[in-house]
């Protein structure tokens, strides 16, 4: 594993130790509580989204759940100042186009118009909790599954983050490993460190110039990177190759460049999984997985 990742891990440990000292020494017990203990509860299904209308900003934790056995995806978006959510949704709809140029232009526009603050892919068996710093202001919770099926009728809820807890990312629980979304000469890639247990928390950081998600899809034991490469080459060629996936995706939604979130799955079974990103590339409009953004991990 790279020196760069090692030094990040070492720094994270050092910062956590310092923060622990600060929290123990603090006089206000309310601030000492981890935001993971008081998450913003979001449930959603074909009938809509249930979520609070407001919550404290700063270091916030979201717990996302559904009773939809087929799985659903929720995305958090915050338009930049002067951009309407309708404009962002219009361009997001373009990003799902089967025409490469339209998809590429759509996703480029979305990256420039809004902050993508993650979200979650969940099933009736697996819910996800993710934690990140979000400054006060409005955030939109979008049912991305419903949106892909019918972009003309977005299912969405606005959440107002009011004030700030004063907590920083260093006060989140310790992460057990990391996933870095990064640009390499050959294309966008996942780099993992210590991602080996289904139930632990992982820090996901997007250090690439584009938007990325982290889908975790189960594959049959023995599935190789080469199997995935052949599968996605078939997709890119317009064929319908046999899917290597044995179940629906779970994982973390789309993050903007230079953003991080800590994610923990609940109910995920041990086994072999493919990390994949289906966000379209900004030049060609192919999903990043087609460009090689896939990685097999085995979780205990």
Residues that bind Cu ion (CB under 5 A): 212, 277, 279, 288
Residue whose CB is less far from Cu ion, 73 or 165:
73
Least separation, in Å, of the C-beta of 232 and Cu ion?
A: 13
Least separation, in Å, of the C-beta of 278 and Cu ion?
A: 8
Least separation, in Å, of the C-beta of 294 and Cu ion?
A: 10
Least separation, in Å, of the C-beta of 79 and Cu ion?
A: 21
Beta partners for residue 112, in sequence order:
none
| SS3 label, residue 19 | helix
Question: What count of other Cβ atoms lies within 10 Å of the Cβ of residue 46?
Answer: 14
Least separation, in Å, of the C-beta of 64 and Cu ion?
A: 20
Residue whose CB is less far from Cu ion, 40 or 114:
114
Q: What is the dihedral of CA 185, 210, 255, 171, to 10 degrees?
A: 60
Query: How far lies 123's CA from each of 5, 45, 78, 177, in Å?
Result: 31, 10, 25, 23
Least separation, in Å, of the C-beta of 285 and Cu ion?
A: 12
Residue whose CB is less far from Cu ion, 67 or 184:
184
Least separation, in Å, of the C-beta of 256 and Cu ion?
A: 12
| SS3 label, residue 35 | helix
**To which residue do tokens 């916030």 refer?**
60
DSSP string across 71-139: -EEEEEEEEPTT--HHHHHHHHHHHT-SSHHHHHHHHHHHHHHEEEEEEEEE-SS-EEEEEEEE-SEEE
**186: which DSSP letter?**
T
**To which residue do tokens 């891990």 refer?**
9
Question: What count of other Cβ atoms lies within 10 Å of the Cβ of residue 192?
Answer: 16
**To which residue do tokens 């050959």 refer?**
186
Burial of 87 (0-12, 13-18, 19+ CB in 10 A): middle
Residue whose CB is less far from Cu ion, 74 or 277:
277
Contact 58, 167 (CB under 8 A): yes
Least separation, in Å, of the C-beta of 135 and Cu ion?
A: 24
């Amino acid at each position: 594993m790279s020196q760069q990742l090692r030094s990040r891990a070492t720094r994270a440990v050092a910062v956590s130790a310092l923060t622990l000292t600060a929290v123990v020494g603090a006089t206000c017990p309310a601030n000492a509580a981890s935001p993971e203990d008081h998450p913003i509860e979001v449930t959603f299904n074909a009938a809509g989204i249930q979520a609070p209308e407001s919550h404290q900003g700063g270091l916030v934790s979201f717990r996302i759940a559904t009773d939809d056995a087929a799985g659903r995806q929720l995305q958090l978006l915050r338009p930049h100042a002067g951009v309407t959510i309708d404009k962002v949704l219009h361009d997001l709809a373009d990003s799902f186009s089967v025409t490469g140029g339209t998809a590429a232009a759509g996703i480029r526009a979305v990256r420039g118009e809004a902050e993508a603050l993650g979200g979650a892919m969940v099933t009736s068996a697996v819910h996800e909790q993710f934690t990140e710093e979000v400054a006060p202001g409005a955030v939109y919770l979008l049912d991305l599954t419903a949106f892909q099926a019918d972009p003309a009728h977005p299912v969405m809820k606005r959440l107002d983050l009011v004030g700030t807890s004063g907590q920083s990312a260093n006060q989140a629980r310790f992460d057990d490993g990391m996933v870095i979304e990064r640009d390499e000469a050959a294309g966008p890639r996942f780099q993992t460190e210590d991602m080996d247990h289904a139930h632990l928390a992982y820090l996901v950081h997007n250090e690439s110039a584009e938007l990325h998600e982290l889908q975790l899809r189960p594959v049959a034991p023995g599935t190789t990177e080469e199997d995935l490469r052949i599968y996605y080459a078939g997709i890119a060629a317009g064929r319908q190759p046999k899917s290597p996936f044995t179940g629906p995706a779970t994982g973390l939604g789309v993050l903007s460049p230079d953003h991080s979130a800590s994610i923990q799955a609940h109910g995920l079974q041990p086994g072999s999984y493919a990390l994949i990103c289906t966000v379209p590339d900004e030049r060609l409009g192919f999903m990043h997985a087609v460009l090689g953004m896939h990685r097999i991990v085995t979780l205990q």
